Structure 1
Amino acid sequence: MPHVVPQPHPSRLTPFAGRPIVVGLVPGQADLVALTAIALARATGGVLWFAYADPERVTLEEHPDGTVLHTPLDPDGVATDWRRTDEDLRAGLTALLADAPDVAWQFRYLAGRPDRALTHLARAVDAATLVVGARTPGVRGRVRELLDGSVAFHLTHHQHRPVLVVPLQVVDWSDPVVRG
């Protein structure tokens, strides 16, 4: 019997009111993604589940609360201090959310492909939606998107929840070079 992949359908829609919102973050990303998610949480009464999926680590075990047990992708490679990244992201969120005491939030440090990790977290918390930033500006963002693909694209094509993509850089269409 062939494997049937569940498709988006009104019966699978999770109500927005009071439901969790998963927010994908990247170190060094503009605060606009988190600020947009905060505004959405205020409008819907949802709890924010911020997450970073470290592509240099691999998931060994996924837990029902959305946490994961992870290890370096290359155990013989130069290990980055994932705990430092975790602490930095938490500190940044704590500072940013100091002006939003009315918004409840959690943070999860995930591993592996961001689209898969965020999808797992969204399932674990039964999120109504996901919020991610558009491609990271600059050469590094373009190279990462070329190699890994767009996280937003993968999310919109591999799970049933709506995805809010926050633009981080826009094209000036009045520029004659862009209109080309």
Structure 2
Amino acid sequence: MTESPAYHREETRILQGPVLVGVAPGQRAVVLDQAAALASAAMLPLVCAFVDVTVYPVDGTTGGQMAPIDPDGVDEDAELIPRSLQDAVSSQLQNKGIDWSLVPLAGEPAHALARHGAEIGASLIVVGAREQKLGSAIKELTGGSVARQLLHRQDRPVLVVPVDPRVPDEQ
């Protein structure tokens, strides 16, 4: 039997860019947990992105100026990322031992995540699957899921984390 050469983790890294994960208020914790575990295992930073669908990117970039879709409904004191989401992400990632950031994006979620993924050279994009609810089924029929749109709109790998698996007991 021949001895295999010793491989160093850093020399065999396949993933190079950060892990990009879509986050939203009320989202199941499993999505961020899985993204954080992947980023930690690959020794990559984690970029958490909140996409605000009530604003759009003025110049077409993710980090540029944003403008409200409805200028009459603007709350001047509103934060770019809801405080509750900032607190939830910070609390969930505080002891994970990874570098992470939280960024605001604007527009349609799949477009915004794909665009930002390309801009930062993300290794992959992580999103949660839709929950099994009537409202989600209607949204799926009318607009499709963010995951499905991502799969067809860009060339980065997409990890879809199941948030409400329904596996029959007999299987």
Decide: shared fold, TM above 0.5. Answer: yes
Contact residue 55 and residue 66 of structure 2 kept, 8 A: yes
Cα displacement (A) at 1:142: 3.2
Residue number among 117, 126, 129 corresponding to 2:121 in the alignment = 126
Percentage of identical aligned residues: 34
Contact residue 80 and residue 104 of structure 2 kept, 8 A: no
Letter in 1 for 2:153: H
Cα displacement (A) at 1:78: 6.5
Aligned: 1:161 with 2:132: no
2:82 is paired with a residue whose SS is helix
Matches within 5 A, 1:96-135: 96-100=92-96, 102-135=97-130
Residue correspondences, number: 158
Cα displacement (A) at 1:94: 1.0
Cα displacement (A) at 1:159: 0.4
Residues 80, 170 of structure 1: alpha-carbon distance in 2 compared, 3 angstrom cutoff: farther
Structure 1 residue aligned with 2:90: 94
Residue number among 44, 47, 58 corresponding to 1:46 in the alignment = 44
- Highest Rg: 1 or 2? 2
Q: Deviations over 1:118-150 (max 9, x none)?
A: 011111110110000001443443343344321
Cα displacement (A) at 1:73: 1.1
Contact residue 152 and residue 165 of structure 1 kept, 8 A: yes
Cα displacement (A) at 1:114: 0.5
Residues 85, 136 of structure 1: alpha-carbon distance in 2 compared, 3 angstrom cutoff: farther
1:61 is paired with a residue whose SS is coil
- TM-score, structure 2 as length reference: 0.81
Extract unaligned runs of 5+ from structure 1.
1-13, 176-180
Residues 19, 85 of structure 1: alpha-carbon distance in 2 compared, 3 angstrom cutoff: closer
Extract unaligned runs of 5+ from structure 2.
1-12
Cα displacement (A) at 1:34: 0.5
- In structure 2, distance between residues paired with 1:132 and 1:169: 13
RMSD of equivalent CA atoms: 2.4
Q: Deviations over 1:54-73 (max 9, x none)?
A: 1121111355xx52321211
Contact residue 51 and residue 109 of structure 1 kept, 8 A: yes
Letter in 2 for 1:142: A
Cα displacement (A) at 1:53: 1.0
- In structure 1, distance between residues paired with 2:144 and 2:24: 15
- TM-score, structure 1 as length reference: 0.77
